[in-house]
Amino acid sequence: MPEQYEPARERHPAQRRSLEESVMYMVGLICAVVVGGFAVYRWLNGEHQRAIINIGIVATIAVPMLLGLSQAYRHAALKVFGSAISLGCVVSALFVSNNGLLWALMVLLVNSLTLSRRWALWLNIIVIVTLSASVHLYLSPLHHVSWSTVALLICGFSLMSMDQLRAQRQLLATQANVDPLTGVGNRRMMHQHLQEIVADRRREHNRGTLMVLDIDHFKKINDNHGHDVGDQVLVDITRSIAASLRTGDGFYRMGGEEFVILLRGMDAATAHSYLPALHGRLSGQVSTADGPVTFSAGVATLHSGEDWSQWLARADRVLYSAKSAGRNQLRFSDSP
């Protein structure tokens, strides 16, 4: 019997909050509470103009936080947030209190943590230049030089640190989602992409077809020629198949000699007309000393109301049917 696949118990990728977004909400909430408290304190003490400025800063910070709740505006929300806190710290320092200089140091760090290098650099330069040029904010020349130096150091080191962090995150993401031997996606990436296709299908009635394939008699290759030859066969077959797929298609290694191809936008009729020729062209293209290496395949087109595990299980079942019928065959779960 084919393996039964269970849906992952994790949030949909589109629902996950990034590190940058988490920093935005944490800093935004803290600033809103603290600056809002200052606004109340100043209003009660008769400093109405300064209190209104504080209220304006809180309102400005709240706008990108509300934007970030929508998936469509998440990226823009970070830019608006960076612009808002940068403007807020400058206005606070110039028109409320030179305590805004302390807030500015925090803003330089937050911009580096939440924005792209270019956006963070430009906003931080504007903050540093504007406040450094406002000589009246400083208690002495030493205070002036000290603040400017610390601001430049925070800006430089935070940008450098985030460059390193983002590079490490990209490397870890690649390692977590790519099969190290063949370079195609692994099971984790496949689960993510199938969940996305099913979600899109429910919202927009998009189509998709899965092709699950298994290399015929792969154990004999390892037994007769060793695992090095077996690994090379896997690499050669994946290269051959990948070269024949469309740009938007997905290709994943399930494990061992079993692979999955995700054919985005392909309906059942197109699959029946296109995939037999693809199988015939690719199966047997790679050879060993014992002859051509063939593969069996099962195909299933996504049905309405079906989850990704049911979809994958249907393709897997017809794969086993193809193997039981003599191998080097392509079987369909759907009638044309």
* The pairing of beta strand 295-301 with beta strand 330-332: parallel
- The one-letter amino acid code at 112 reads S
The SS3 of residue 40 is: helix
CA dihedral 297, 302, 303, 308 (to 10 degrees): 100
Structural domain spans, the chain: 13-176, 187-332
| Nearest-angstrom CA–CA distance, 198 and 306 | 8
Q: What is the pLDDT of residue 179?
A: 92
pLDDT of 18 reads 80
Q: Which of 160, 171, 174 is nearest to 113 (CA)?
A: 160
What per-residue confidence (pLDDT) applies to 10? 41
Residue 301: how many other CB atoms lie within 10 Å:
23
By three-state DSSP, how is residue 250 classified? Answer: strand
For the whole model, what pTM was predicted? 0.61
Cβ atoms 131, 90 nearer than 8 A: yes
Integer Cα distance of 33 and 62 in angstroms: 11
Cβ–Cβ under 8 Å, residues 55 and 85: no
| pLDDT on residue 335 | 61
Strand partners, 250: 262
In angstroms, the CA 174 to CA 36 distance is 42
Assigned CATH for 187-332? 3.30.70.270
Show Cβ contacts of residue 320 under 8 Å, excluding neighbours closer than 6 positions: 1, 2, 298
User: Is the Cβ–Cβ distance between 259 and 312 less than 8 Å?
Assistant: no
Let me know how long the chain is. 336
pLDDT of residue 72: 79
Which tokens in the block code for residue 247?
A: 């740009």
- Measured distance CA(86)–CA(79) in Å, rounded: 11
Tell me what percent of the chain is helix, strand and coil, each rounded to the nearest 5: 65, 10, 25
**Residue-level pLDDT, tens digit, the chain, 336 residues:** 333 333 333 444 445 668 888 889 998 899 889 989 999 999 999 999 989 998 998 898 899 999 888 877 888 999 999 999 999 999 989 998 888 899 999 999 999 999 999 999 999 999 999 999 999 999 999 999 999 999 999 999 999 999 998 888 888 877 888 999 999 999 999 999 999 888 876 665 678 999 999 999 999 999 999 999 999 999 999 999 999 999 889 999 998 999 999 999 999 999 999 999 999 999 999 999 999 999 999 999 999 888 999 999 999 999 999 999 999 999 999 765
Alpha carbons within 13 angstroms on the beta-carbon side of residue 149 total: 6
Q: Which of 205, 178, 181 is nearest to 193 (CA)?
A: 178
